[in-house]
Amino acid sequence: MRSSLALIALFGARSGASPLAAGGAPSVDLGYAVYDGTQDSQNGINVFKGAQGLDPTEFMTTNNNSFISVIIQYRLGAFGFLSSEDVKTGGVPNAGLLDMSFALQWVQKHIKSFGGDPARVTIAGESAGGAAVMYQAMAYGGTQNVSLFNNIIAESPWVPAQHNYNDEVPTQAYDDFSAAAGCSNVTDTLQCLRDSDSEVLQNASARVSEASAFGSFAFLPVTDGSFVKDLPSTQLVAKSLSGKRILSGNLANEGVPLSPPTTTTLEDFRDYVSYTFPSLSADDKAALEDLYSYEGDDEDANPLAPVYDTDGTSSVTAVNQSTFGTGQQQRVFNVFAESTFDCPSYWLASAFPQAWKYQFSAGPAYHGFDLQALWSGTKTPGASFKHAFRKIWGNFIVHDDPIISVTDAKGGAANSTVPEGADGLIEWPVWTDESPVLLNLNTTGGNATYHPVTEYLKYYTYSDPGVVNVFSVADANAWEGGRGERCKWWLENAKKVPY
């Protein structure tokens, strides 16, 4: 009897400590945040503070229970990503990434006891989890001592600025954290932190994180010279990675809710660029502004302008139009989305020997909404879409190929529209640099529910009955008015971000 495959999923929260754990479920994910549509204090959307409540049962049963899921947690905030010269000398930077690596080693050692196959492991993650699977592939310069996995699913890979472990930015976060914990005026700062109560450290970590700019985080992966040897952009271009194949995804509205929602004027846009990318020169900023130009781009955002999603291929593009904003506001949303999520998903697809790329466009398609389609017990984005999306992930895990049948793609809704290929399968070409193709996963119809979450965050969700799938194949370079060229620019300037 053939043993089941293992999917490893990493999902975490934004700050605080969370214990490393492994358990039986249908996937192994490296992840960041799960949004349920309710409000939190910073971003207007609730975030589960850990993996509790994530139920992959429906995902698993949709795929005939053909793989085993392992969902882990790892240390976060200062507990997982505190860095400085002190930490490097007396401890270890990137502890959260090492937690993940340890969990993968645990799977290699023990998954057979659960009926799993250690030679067929897929690691998956969303947001910071998407970056987490990237960092596991990058580990030790892309040369793991043992093979811990062969497939990767990177959904919305969040790639923030990455500094050397003792650079000014991580060192300042270390100093601020030490001060908040009452350890700034002591002989041995690191020992003082180790002697402090966990609750004190949790509060200090949260205080430093909350002092960061909107949508940014104080404690991040760093170049440590060991586990993380180089910038992601450098290793991705060099294809210095572990893993055989990747399923790489992004959402239509990645800029929401982690980028500032109060942009109105051109000056606001310029201030955002200057603050977010301080190493860009005046010429760089002018080039970026030109790259994200549109007719009337010197005018203020019009609060009465209609908001609606673009279709990715028309003359109306995500540069200045979405269901969340228009003009200068959407310009900020899109710069954040492309620089932080969309373009890294392109680069990851190009870095692996075999790759497939998709965009999750089922509304409202804000950052994190795709998890509604994966986990159990959600009302949106419709049964037909959830069936197809879960089959895509499952096929990739089980068969090393995300291409599903036309029947599964329609998900029981006969009036769904999907690209039909040979042998009853959908058409979905592999991604190559010469022919970068994505599959756009969208829906139409359904019952609309309005969510006025905050003054700045308002959107509709669409539930059954009536949701049908609308899938299409598209040129990723031409997507949204030339996203390929914009991603090329970000890659050329990656060391100025730096990432």
Number of residues in the chain = 499
**Averaged pLDDT for residues 125-137:** 96
What is the per-residue pLDDT for 31? 32
What is the per-residue pLDDT for 215? 76
439 - beta bridge partners?
358, 473
- Say how far apart CA 87 and CA 37 lie, in whole Å: 37
75: left (phi over 0), alpha (psi -120 to 50) or beta: beta
Strands 67-72 and 468-475, how do they pair?
Answer: unpaired
- Say how far apart CA 181 and CA 295 lie, in whole Å: 50
What is the per-residue pLDDT for 42? 34
pLDDT in tens, 415-455: 999 999 999 999 999 999 999 999 999 999 999 999 999 99
pLDDT in tens, 139-148: 999 987 678 9
Q: Which of 247, 10, 6, 241 has the alpha carbon at shortest distance from 121?
A: 6
pLDDT at 13 over 50: no
Would you say the C-alpha torsion 296, 299, 301, 305 has a positive or negative sign? negative
Mapping DSSP to helix (H, G, I), strand (E, B) and coil, where does residue 72 land?
A: strand
- Say how far apart CA 385 and CA 401 lie, in whole Å: 19
Which residue matches tokens 């002591």? 186
What is the per-residue pLDDT for 268? 98
Which residue matches tokens 């991705």? 236
Output the six-digit token pair for 442: 């969208």
- H or E element at residue 470: strand 468-475
Residues identified as active-site? 127, 254
Q: Which of 334, 343, 336 has the alpha carbon at shortest distance from 316?
A: 334
Cβ(94)–Cβ(138) below 8 Å: no
Q: Which of 220, 19, 228, 21 has the alpha carbon at shortest distance from 142?
A: 228
- H or E element at residue 146: none
Lowest mean pLDDT, pick from 34-43, 62-71, 111-120, 124-133: 34-43
What is the per-residue pLDDT for 41? 32
Lowest mean pLDDT, pick from 15-19, 194-198, 271-275, 277-281: 15-19
What is the per-residue pLDDT for 346? 98
- H or E element at residue 438: strand 437-444
- Per-position DSSP letters for 352-384, written without gaps between them: SSEEEEEEE-STT-BTTTTHHHHSTT---S-HH
Q: Which of 89, 99, 93, 88 has the alpha carbon at shortest distance from 78?
A: 93
Mapping DSSP to helix (H, G, I), strand (E, B) and coil, where does residue 32 land?
A: coil
**Averaged pLDDT for residues 51-67:** 90
pLDDT at 23 over 50: no
Q: What is the dihedral of CA 273, 277, 279, 282, to 10 degrees?
A: -10
What is the per-residue pLDDT for 5? 67
pLDDT at 26 over 60: no
Give the model's confidence band at 10: pLDDT under 50 very low, under 70 low, under 90 confident, else very high. low
Mapping DSSP to helix (H, G, I), strand (E, B) and coil, where does residue 223 land?
A: strand
53: left (phi over 0), alpha (psi -120 to 50) or beta: left
pLDDT in tens, 313-330: 999 999 999 999 999 999
